[in-house]
Amino acid sequence: HGAPLRLLAPGFVGARSVKWLQHLAVRPEESGSVWQKRFYRMFPPWVRDLRDIDYDDGDVPPVYEFPVQSAIVSPAAGDVVTLGDDGALEARGYAVSGAGQRIVSVRLSTDGGESWRNATLLGVASAVAEAGGGEGARGKLPPPAPPEHGRNWSWVLWRARVP
């Protein structure tokens, strides 16, 4: 993939990381390709039918930076869970933000937003150790250094006890 050269653009949506680079054009405006003009867009919440969109009116901005996103990956839908002695279960997931912005907290609610619990953000070393890594084939990982502002290009793993 990408031989002899692959272009990666940190902080941009992965679809922009082209597989086969044949030529490179630097332009003052966005590409006129159908992919750029119609598909790599962030649609406002009132858009219900893509046939009703005027792609040239400026109301449908291109996806250059994606919004904060988070997902619960455990327990998965349909999992049978057992509550701990404290009456809670452990939820795990990830969070990611665009533009190199750092995830500073993840909060969960089980009552429709009436109350919130902070999740514990896991650093690289603790996430690898919890996954069974750490010592061994990968060696001991040092705790990550705090990234500079605007230079956080990775997701953050998290966990939380949820009543």
Q: Which residues, other chains included, contact 140 with Cβ-Cβ below 8 Å and sequence gap of 6+?
A: 125, 134
pLDDT for position 72: 92
- Residue 114: both structure tokens together: 């009436």
Integer Cα distance of 1 and 86 in angstroms: 49
Give the model's confidence band at 155: pLDDT under 50 very low, under 70 low, under 90 confident, else very high.
Answer: confident
For 16-36, write each residue's pLDDT tens digit: 555 666 777 788 877 777 777
Q: CB–CB of 8/24 below 8 Å?
A: no
Q: Give the residue with greater pLDDT, 52 vs 104.
A: 104
**Alpha-carbon span 94 to 150, nearest angstrom:** 19
- Cα gap 31→15, rounded to integer Å: 14
pLDDT at res. 88: 93
- Quote the pLDDT of residue 139: 45
d(CA 31, CA 91): 41
In this predicted structure, the answer to whether residue 104 has a pLDDT above a threshold of 70 is yes
CA atoms within 13 A on the CB side of 123: 10
**Residue bearing the bigger pLDDT, 60 or 11:** 60
Angstrom distance (rounded) from CA 55 to CA 60: 6
